[in-house]
Amino acid sequence: MARSTTTTHSPNRRPCEQGKILIRRPQRPARAALIVVAALLAGLLLPAVSAAREYLQLFVTEPYLELHTGPGRGYPVFHAVPRDESVDVLFRRTDWFKVRTAHGVEGWASQADMLKTVLADGSPFKFDIGDLAGFSSHRYEMGVFAGEYGGANLISAYWSVSLNPQMAVEAAAGQFLGRFSNGETVDLGLAHVLVADSRWSPFLMLGVGLAHIEPKGTLVTPENRTEQTAYVGGGIRYYMTRRFFMRAEYKAHYIFTKRNENEEEDEWKLGFGFFY
């Protein structure tokens, strides 16, 4: 009697190489755990870092310290800090200081009132102020001028940063409008203050620049041109009041043209400046 048999074929399996054991490794959530730990640490440390920021603490010596709602006399007084209480200086804006009391009240105190506060050791609070001493040792200044450039009407502005009380780096830009040409100038140079601690403060200048000239023509319009320049000059500053001063200066410009000969132009101007 014939016997029937059924043969079941198992799926093909990749044979293991000799000497190797195939182990299915469980997935490790290492990266996720690190992210969670980092987030927890950030949440714990950020408040501590913010709290660790220190402000200058001052104490009131007058009967009270008036706090305004904004940096100016036009803003009303809304709070008075009594004598012997402390305030933290948050930041300064020209002649006004934003402070915070021990009870968390924030307001603006004038420069004159802040001069009457003291440090924790009882020494007076000192800072650069808008007076003649500040004029002699300020860090930055800027101003605007009106004058003449090569016979043309000129308006210009400048910005200066002091390296020390007698040396500064200055940048200036101007526009001139004349009968025969219009144009713009840009200068960059050094200014040496001869007498830094005087109300009348003379100075010398030396630098380089560019001059963009647009000639006016009747029958044939000449081409516009941009030339390199160098200048020497001098001037004087006069301290007026608070942070303001008057400044007069002269520059002799040497224009290096692409023609056969160079040009020279004189610049005279007078204006007002502001230091901070």
Give all domains of the chain, ordered by start, each with its CATH number. Answer: 56-127 (2.30.30.40), 135-275 (2.40.160.20)
Residues found in the chain: 276
Give me the DSSP letters along 103-158: TS-EEEEEHHHHTTEE-TTSPBP----SSHHHHHH-SEEEEEEEEEETTEEEEEEE
135 in Cβ contact with 128 (< 8 Å): no
State both tokens at 101: 């009391």
35 in Cβ contact with 29 (< 8 Å): no
Q: Which residue in this structure is represented by tokens 């390296």?
A: 163
State both tokens at 223: 């081409």
The pLDDT mean for the chain works out to 84
Each residue's pLDDT tens digit, 15-41: 444 444 444 444 445 565 556 555 555
Each residue's pLDDT tens digit, 161-210: 999 989 999 999 999 999 989 999 999 999 999 998 899 999 999 999 99
pLDDT at res. 5: 44
Please tell me whether the overall predicted TM-score, pTM, comes out greater than 0.95 for this model: no
Each residue's pLDDT tens digit, 76-122: 999 999 999 999 999 888 789 999 999 999 999 998 899 889 999 99
State both tokens at 121: 């050791």
Give me the DSSP letters along 71-91: SSTTSPEEEEEETT-EEEEEE
Assign 258 to helix, strand or coil: coil
pLDDT-derived band at 51 (thresholds 50, 70, 90) equals: very low
Each residue's pLDDT tens digit, 253-264: 999 998 778 999
Q: Which residue in this structure is represented by tokens 């043209």?
A: 257
User: How far is residue 9's CA from residue 2's CA, in Å, rounded to a whole number?
Assistant: 22
State mean pLDDT over 118-139: 84
Question: 58 pairs with which residues across the strands?
Answer: 87
Determine what percent of the chain is predicted with pLDDT higher than 90: 61
pLDDT at res. 90: 93
Assign 137 to helix, strand or coil: helix
